C-alpha cells in the first residue's frame, strides 16, 4: 500500500502531518510530494522537507492521493496541471482520493465530486455539489473532511478504507483515542 500526500506552499500543517504520521503508523508507505521543490512552507510558516518533487512521481505507482487544505495551499494545488492529471488518473482507476478542509474544492473543480456526497470547511458548502454536515464523509473511493480539528478522524478513515476496522482499532489504542 502506497499513498501520496501533496504539499503545496500554504498547506495546513496539522492536516498533512497528522495524515502522514497515522498512515505510517498503520504500516502504509507514504510519500510527501512537494509541488515546487524539496522545502514546502505551510500556512503557519512551518517548513517541511518533502520526500519527492511532483515531477519525480508516477501516480500509477500509488494506491491513493491525499490533499491537505489551507486556503493558499488549495490555490496552489489548483494552479498545477500535474495535480489535475494525478486526480483524474486516480479517479479513473478508482484509487483512494482524500481531501480535507478547503481541498475538497479541488475535487469539485475537477468533477470528482459530481455524483458524490462530501464535506468541506464550514462556510464553503456551496463550493461542492452534495455537501454534508459531517466531520468525515466516505463515498466510494473518496474521503473528505472538514478542518484541522478533524485531521485525526480523517486519517483514521483513510486507514479503515485501506486496511480495515481492525487496523484502526490497533492505531486508536496506540494513540489512546
Helices of type H across 48-144: 71-79, 81-92, 104-109
User: What are phi and psi for residue 85, nearest 5 degrees?
Assistant: -60, -45
Grid coordinates representing 28 are: 502504509
Query: d(Cα 35, Cα 78) in Å, to the nearest integer?
Result: 11
Residues 6 or more apart from 166 whose CB is under 8 A from it?
Answer: none
Chain centroid to CA 25: how far?
17
Exposure string for 93-112, b = 16+ CB within 10 A, e = fewer: eebbbbbbbbbbbbbbbbeb
Any idea which residues carry the catalytic annotation? 101
Amino acid at each position: 500500500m502506497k499513498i501520496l500526500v501533496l504539499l503545496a506552499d500554504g498547506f495546513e500543517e496539522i492536516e498533512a502531518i497528522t495524515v502522514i504520521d497515522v498512515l505510517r503508523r498503520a504500516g502504509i508507505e507514504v510519500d510527501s510530494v512537494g509541488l515546487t521543490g524539496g522545502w514546502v512552507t505551510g500556512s503557519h510558516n512551518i517548513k517541511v522537507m518533502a520526500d519527492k518533487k511532483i515531477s519525480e512521481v508516477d501516480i500509477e505507482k500509488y494506491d491513493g492521493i491525499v490533499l491537505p487544505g489551507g486556503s493558499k495551499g488549495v490555490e496552489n494545488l489548483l494552479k498545477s496541471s500535474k495535480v489535475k492529471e494525478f486526480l483524474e488518473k486516480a479517479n479513473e482507476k478508482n484509487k483512494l482520493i482524500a481531501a480535507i478542509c478547503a481541498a475538497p474544492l479541488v475535487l469539485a473543480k475537477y468533477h470528482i465530486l459530481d455524483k458524490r456526497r462530501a464535506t468541506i470547511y464550514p462556510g464553503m458548502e456551496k463550493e461542492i455539489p452534495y455537501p454534508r454536515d459531517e466531520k468525515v464523509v466516505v463515498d466510494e473511493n473518496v474521503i473528505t473532511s472538514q478542518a484541522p480539528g478533524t485531521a485525526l478522524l480523517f486519517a483514521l478513515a483513510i486507514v479503515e478504507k485501506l486496511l480495515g476496522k481492525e487496523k484502526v482499532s490497533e492505531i486508536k489504542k496506540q494513540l489512546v483515542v
